[in-house]
Structure 1
Amino acid sequence: MRTTSVIIIFWILVSYPNFQNKVALSQTLSSAFSSHGEWHLLYASIGISAMHMQVLSNNKVIIFDRTDFGPSNLTLPGGRCRVDPLDTALKVDCTAHSVLYNIASNVFRPLMVHTDTWCSSGSVLPNGTFVQTGGFNDGERNIRVFNPCFDETCDWLEFHNYLSERRWYSTNQILPDGRIIIVGGRRQFNYEFFPSSSDNPSSPRPTFFLSFLQETTDSNENNLYPFVLLLPDGNLFIFANTRSISFDYKRNLFVKEFPRIPGGDPRNYPSTGSAVLLPLDENKDMEAEILICGGAPQVSFWNAVKGTFMLALSTCGRLKVTDQNPNWVMENMPIPRVMGDMLILPTGDVIIINGARLGTAGWDNGREPVLTPVIYWSSPRDPNWRFTVMAAASRPRVYHSSAVLLTDGRVVVGGSNPQMNYTFSGVEYPTDLSLEAFSPPYLSPEFDITRPTIMYFTGDFVGYGEYCYVTFTVRKFVSASELSVRLVAPSFTTHSFAMNQRMVVLKLIGVTYVRGETYYATVAGPSTPEIAPPGYYMLFVVNSGAPSSGLWVKVH
């Protein structure tokens, strides 16, 4: 479709008699392009495949894949080498398996990760430290810590055997008290915490049995990377396979089991749909809604192993868990999708990006990559207008791809390596080492007139329930009803799930005109740590659908 449109523009420009009209018409058609977003290649190769990504509060993105498939395409500097006698591929490896990408300068540098991070999990502590947990082989009980810095000195620190159980395909969630809960993993029907209640290395660190994970295991283990989301009442929403519960982790008690998602098809790895907690709005009675989209039929995995690739699921389920008797409301995406990433955009809408139309997750188990992202409008003015198909990417992103939201409103996308090793030829979908950015429609020039620019924020932190002031400029301010101030927690994304992702719409006390194009908004900080756990967030001002660039603030 995009190619056809380019041909039409060329034909009009060479045929139209008035050059000025040509330019005007070209700009109009370009605007039509931007209404479906735009793709930009950042790097043809960063040397590694982006299996895991996390945005940090110094506006850098830490990216890594795994260490046990042999050398990457990026050499470690200064003659450094990783020596690992337990590695299944290379005992001495002088290539990097992690990089740090600087958003502002668009440069990256290699990092040294020591043990295998394959299919691991992560969260950011309230102080901004990234904690990465588990993996495979010699990394399965390890934690790795990365403290953001503004020079070129920071690198991974690793702590061996800190975890009580092997955490491979587990899920992390930051909690209101600043701890991280680590849930599940392959054949792990339990959870534990970081920091542990026992920080003595010689003492056993407690784990807690979670029968729900055992009950939802089937022959395909469709409960790996369970969807774990913190609810505003402090309990956890946990979805595995086709079932979901509200869970009190403090008392190890089931609070409620919700109805099964209609259709009977699993949504977790390897069937691999995705899930988000829709924005929590402090300007209304507090409601919590879960959105789960995509996945694959129950028997899809074993059929793919045998060479038959089934059509992925096209359904999304929306569940308002704060209702007294919640039920799933089902909707249909315009494109079936498995292995799609779901990210909350600054506007509160959800982008569904990456993935395939056929098959499941797993080695070479997907076919027909879905190149077109879809935006799910979380609160459309027309309830029949829920999805919009975006501009198509040029590169397939299937198994082992990822995506994260940046402070400038773009979505960075990388990865795709459905092979056991780095493989660049002779296969259906070669290893992809590139990094791209997708610019959603709100970044198009037509929104410049309503796009705010944050000039000043009261301090660098947001206190619970305390008033804050955001000074911004905007060429066209419509009304306070069209303005919102939003916090977005940066996600750790891997295997189609953005862990710790959440958005809080702050309570708007009022908007005051200053002079010229300058205004300031008075907002109240989040009501409780259950609504917004302590830590760093991206703060956006959104005016008439146009978001500002984000500003990092600390909630505490």
Structure 2
Amino acid sequence: MSTIMILIVIPFVLASLFPCFQAQTLPSRFANQGQWQLLHPSIGISPMHMQLLHNDKVIMFDRTDFGHSYLPLSNGRCRMDPFDIALKLDCSAHSALYDVATNTLRPLMIQTDTWCSSGAVLPNGTLIQTGGYNDGERNIRMFTPCFDETCDWVEFPRLLSQRRWYATNQILPDARVIVVGGRRQFNYEFLPKTANPNSYPSSVPLNFLQRTSDTSENNLYPFVHLLPDGNLFIFANTKSVLFDYKLNSVIKEFPPIPGEDPRNYPSSGSSVLLPLDENLVPLQAEVVVCGGAPRGSFESALRGSFMQALASCGRLRLTHPNPNWVMENMPMPRAMGDMLLLPNGDVVIINGVGAGTAGWEHGREPVLTPLIFRPSETVNRFSIMAPASRPRLYHSSAVLLKDGRVLVGGSNPHVFYNFTGVEYPTDLSLEAFSPPYLAPEFNPVRPTIRYVTNNNVLGFRTFCYVTFSVSDFGSASDVSIRILAPSFTTHSFGQNQRMVVLKLRGVTYLGGEAYYATVVGPSTAEIAPPGYYILFVVHKGVPSSGWWVQVM
């Protein structure tokens, strides 16, 4: 057996024999640059899609036509699919449920192809997952979290009105999900469907997507954010609009992002809606778009020439009477990076490449160092973190966990699983990045949540009391209470991630190291759509571990 094969086989064998494989920590200056941990050398699949669920398990999946995965289905199950491109009979899993607390995995059965699909979590905690490729392109799948080993995917064939491949989902204030775009789909539709098939709404044209399409289709996975006024911010290619989905009307066209370089797939920049702070009057809404690949990168990569990725970030304050992009540069260029909101309001930018673009074999120069972007700072907003040891290129993903770590997995820039004879082999490992705020030296100022009133239900405009303890308390001005909706992350965009800083009415001392904060639930469903959120207490910039609450 060759040395390369031994290096590949050993991690898989370790993962098979020791499902609770102990994390290996890489040395770093933790408090300044964070820290990496290897959680599993192989989970058997290369997750291009991830979603944290409210039972603290992460559902992840790749695509069914990669061929055999390295995670067998349980109980002798096999998937039979006469339409599958790779295998008609497949006894391996292409989806897994990762238990954060125990660092273990359970294989799940997914029937049709989920390649480049989209998702959102409904108010009851069910993940509704849409589209994909081939026989999965018009299917809906649902996964309802459970606290035993019984839950699995349930699939509903051909309920989508159009093929949804590279579409984006956004949860709405009325608990529906809007599914926007997809490859050659210049339209949108709503979910869930009603029980009466005759009342299924057809798709609604969205001319903005057609206007922003080009030969490279740089408006796939459009960046969609729900704004506090109930309208949608939609960014595609280089342009963006304020869109009223109820009236199917563009309210406002924003200026193109400077530089005229595309930011959506396959250029694959990323975007976040910065935290909505209910303590500010009037409420501000600001979007950030970072990275991507210059115009022509995809065609250039097809010829074997890999253009340098973009280093620029643009900020657009959407609530300003005359919004204009404010540009700045990251310390290094990056395409296919994931932007995730952190509990303290900072943004981590992680994964990706410094040259090339998304697509099979089209990325080069992996960027191993995450960045922390601090939008509230006036200078030195970017900090370079400790480098990872594993490249995370095309089809990698990342999600924030309740304990404040960032879970990272995936990377498969090949048509099938490929571990040999390629520059960047398929990666089946799972890692966690711990941002600097988790360093032990911050423990004295780190709060610990003890109790949330109202049975962990956060009502609109209702008072809530959050009891917490901290050993080295500063003052009430050092405290903020935030809720965060976890993202459905795929292809460099965290769909539906959202943070709201709750209105703080005061902090009361209870004795010893105990305090309680009086906060007010979100003002409207437009600010915080109904559903499960992670509540964090942040003290002196250091967050607690999170606490699940349900906004309703």
TM-score, length basis structure 1: 0.93
Give deviations 1:284-311, integer Å, cap 9, x for gaps: 0200000000001010110011100000
Preserved contact between residue 271 and residue 338 of structure 1 (Cα < 8 Å)? yes
Q: How much has 1:204 moved relative to structure 2?
A: 4.7
Preserved contact between residue 31 and residue 444 of structure 1 (Cα < 8 Å)? no
Task: Give % identity.
Answer: 69
Match of 2:529 in 1: 533
Return the match for 1:505 from 501, 506, 530. 501
Give the counterpart letter for 1:431 in structure 2: T
Preserved contact between residue 144 and residue 151 of structure 2 (Cα < 8 Å)? yes
CA separation in 1, counterparts of 2:472 and 2:275? 25
Alignment coverage as a number of residue pairs: 524
Match of 1:42 in 2: 39
CA separation in 2, counterparts of 1:296 and 1:70? 30
Matched, 1:400 2:395: yes
Preserved contact between residue 30 and residue 439 of structure 2 (Cα < 8 Å)? no
CA separation in 2, counterparts of 1:37 and 1:145? 35
Secondary structure of 2:477 counterpart:
helix
Give the counterpart letter for 1:49 in structure 2: S
Matched, 1:423 2:418: yes
Matched, 1:474 2:470: yes
Match of 2:371 in 1: 374
Match of 1:181 in 2: 178
Q: How much has 1:526 moved relative to structure 2?
A: 0.4
Pairwise mapping of residues 39-438 of structure 1 onto structure 2 (< 5 A)?
39-196=36-193, 198-201=194-197, 204-285=200-281, 286-380=283-377, 383-438=378-433
Q: How much has 1:394 moved relative to structure 2?
A: 0.2
Q: How much has 1:207 moved relative to structure 2?
A: 1.0
Preserved contact between residue 31 and residue 446 of structure 1 (Cα < 8 Å)? no
CA separation in 2, counterparts of 1:35 and 1:448? 15
Preserved contact between residue 339 and residue 494 of structure 2 (Cα < 8 Å)? yes
Match of 1:516 in 2: 512
CA separation in 2, counterparts of 1:296 and 1:107? 36
Q: How much has 1:31 moved relative to structure 2?
A: 8.3
Give deviations 1:84-138, integer Å, cap 9, x for gaps: 0111111110000000000111111100000000000000000000100000000
Secondary structure of 1:206 counterpart:
coil
Give deviations 1:507-528, integer Å, cap 9, x for gaps: 0000000000000000000000
Preserved contact between residue 272 and residue 287 of structure 2 (Cα < 8 Å)? yes
Q: How much has 1:33 moved relative to structure 2?
A: 3.6
Preserved contact between residue 28 and residue 386 of structure 2 (Cα < 8 Å)? no
Secondary structure of 1:78 counterpart:
coil
Match of 1:547 in 2: 543
CA separation in 1, counterparts of 2:403 and 2:313? 28
TM-score, length basis structure 2: 0.94
CA separation in 1, counterparts of 2:197 and 2:163? 17
Q: How much has 1:201 moved relative to structure 2?
A: 2.9
Q: How much has 1:274 moved relative to structure 2?
A: 0.1
Match of 1:21 in 2: none
Secondary structure of 2:33 counterpart:
coil
CA separation in 2, counterparts of 1:145 and 1:364? 32
Preserved contact between residue 42 and residue 106 of structure 1 (Cα < 8 Å)? yes
CA separation in 1, counterparts of 2:144 and 2:456? 19
CA separation in 1, counterparts of 2:477 and 2:244? 36
Match of 1:11 in 2: none
Give the counterpart letter for 1:384 in structure 2: V
Give the counterpart letter for 2:440 in structure 1: P
Give the counterpart letter for 2:521 in structure 1: G
Cα root mean square deviation, aligned = 0.9
Secondary structure of 1:110 counterpart:
strand
Q: How much has 1:385 moved relative to structure 2?
A: 1.1
Secondary structure of 2:75 counterpart:
helix
Preserved contact between residue 81 and residue 89 of structure 2 (Cα < 8 Å)? yes
